[in-house]
């Protein structure tokens, strides 16, 4: 290919990239309404955010799944409270599964649900925790320096990861019944 042809190809690719970004920009705007600001709940390791808002399931509609850069390396990592609030529900008896097993009967697996926000109008669910690792109890007050438990592989989870979502309070017996709330996760705090 001549140098002139290469310039036209590169110029065309650049123009197509700019056009794609311009068309995608409206999709990147923040959702209308309340956005819940949360601290990143993990402090050691290298993580990626996967499945952002891909679960169109009631309260979990704006959920994120946090995974390790290396497969399964997240298992056992300590989870910190992503907000200041009160522990309202805990589950800690379900077994960890061997990948790719899933437990469809207990979707969140072991979990902690927090009531956050000034008016207690935000519930935050952290799910798929390690069996026996939960360190808090209903009624406990937590801050972002408090450890909740560890990442595991319980519930409806194909691999170890941490599921997190925010919602309005729903029915007490149904973890996903509240209206979903978009979340904005702050930068990670790195332990020394």
pLDDT higher than threshold 50 for residue 97? yes
Q: Positive or negative CA dihedral for 149, 154, 155, 157?
A: positive
> What pLDDT is recorded for position 156?
87
Q: Which residues contact 137 (CB under 8 A, 6 or more apart)?
A: 87, 90
As a whole number, mean pLDDT of residues 9-30 equals 40
Does the structure show a pLDDT above 90 at 119?
no
Q: Tell me what pLDDT residue 100 has.
A: 79
Q: Looking at residue 6, what is its pLDDT?
A: 47
Averaged pLDDT for residues 125-153: 96
Q: Compute the distance between CA of residue 173 and CA of residue 50 in angstroms, rounded to an integer.
A: 27
pLDDT per position as a tens digit, 61-78: 888 999 998 877 899 999
Give residue 123's pLDDT.
94
| Percent of the chain with pLDDT strictly greater than 70 | 76
- pLDDT top residue among 14 and 65: 65
pLDDT in tens, 161-180: 999 999 998 887 788 888 88
Kindly state the DSSP code that residue 82 receives in the 8-state scheme: S
pLDDT of residue 7: 43
- In this prediction, residue 28 carries a pLDDT of 47
CA distance 70 to 48: 10
Q: What is the predicted pLDDT for the residue at 124?
A: 96
- State how far the Cα of 120 lies from the Cα of 111, in Å rounded to an integer: 19
- DSSP three-state, residue 189: coil
CA distance 108 to 94: 10
* Cα–Cα distances in angstroms (integers) from residue 163 to residues 36, 104, 188, in the given order: 16, 15, 16
């Amino acid at each position: 290919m001549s140098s002139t042809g290469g310039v036209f190809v590169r110029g065309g690719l650049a123009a197509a990239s700019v056009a794609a970004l311009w068309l995608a920009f409206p999709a990147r705007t923040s959702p209308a309404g309340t956005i819940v600001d949360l601290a990143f709940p993990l402090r050691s390791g290298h993580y990626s955010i996967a499945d952002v808002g891909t679960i169109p399931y009631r309260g979990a509609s704006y959920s994120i799944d946090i995974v390790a850069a290396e497969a399964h390396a997240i298992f056992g990592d300590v989870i910190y409270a992503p907000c200041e609030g009160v522990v309202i529900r805990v589950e800690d008896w379900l077994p960890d599964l061997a990948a790719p097993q899933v437990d469809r009967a207990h979707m969140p697996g072991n979990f902690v649900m927090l009531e956050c926000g000034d008016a207690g109008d935000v519930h935050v669910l952290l799910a798929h925790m390690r069996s026996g690792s939960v360190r808090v109890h209903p009624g406990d007050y937590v801050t972002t320096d408090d450890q909740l438990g560890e990442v595991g592989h319980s519930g409806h989870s194909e691999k170890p990861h941490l599921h997190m979502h925010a919602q309005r309070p729903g029915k007490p017996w149904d973890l996903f019944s509240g209206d979903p709330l978009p979340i904005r996760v702050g930068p990670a705090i790195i332990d020394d």
